[in-house]
């Protein structure tokens, strides 16, 4: 988001392509591989078009999707998240405390990120 605000939108898209290439190394099923390759291809096509308006819309759209999906994942998993169980075993803190911590963190990131994007 900081890079988007300072006119480094092309850099954000190239970083996204690089991260997708790294993600491709860990994806194991055919559907996941297809999605990562198609997404990377679309981002490269957007970069090659050199249309600043389209690049800006894509970067801001990706930023909103990532911010909102963080909160959605926390709300969907709730206290039943597998990570909460692992952390409960290792720390002794209840699962609900980890859920609350993740919820506070994801909502804070959403608020902070939205102030940077708007």
Domain boundaries, the chain: 2-117
Structure confidence by residue, pLDDT tens digits, 35-80? 999 999 999 999 999 898 999 999 999 999 999 999 999 999 887 8
What are the tens digits of pLDDT across the range 70-109?
999 999 988 788 888 899 999 999 999 999 999 999 999 9
Residue 118 pLDDT: 84
pLDDT band at 4 (very low <50, low <70, confident <90, very high): low
Give the global pTM.
Answer: 0.78
SS3 94: coil
Query: CA nearest 21: which of 41, 7, 45?
Result: 41
Backbone angles phi, psi at 92, to 5 degrees: 85, -5
């Amino acid at each position: 988001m900081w890079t988007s605000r300072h006119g480094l939108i092309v850099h954000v898209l190239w970083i996204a392509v690089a991260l997708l290439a790294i993600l491709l190394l860990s994806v194991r099923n055919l559907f996941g591989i297809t999605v990562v390759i198609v997404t990377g291809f679309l981002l490269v096509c957007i970069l090659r078009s050199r249309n600043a308006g389209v690049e800006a819309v894509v970067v801001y759209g990706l930023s909103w999707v990532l911010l909102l999906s963080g909160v959605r994942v926390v709300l969907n998993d709730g206290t039943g998240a597998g990570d909460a169980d692992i952390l409960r075993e290792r720390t002794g803190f209840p699962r609900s405390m980890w859920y609350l911590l993740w919820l506070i963190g994801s909502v804070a990131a959403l608020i902070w990120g939205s102030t940077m994007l708007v």
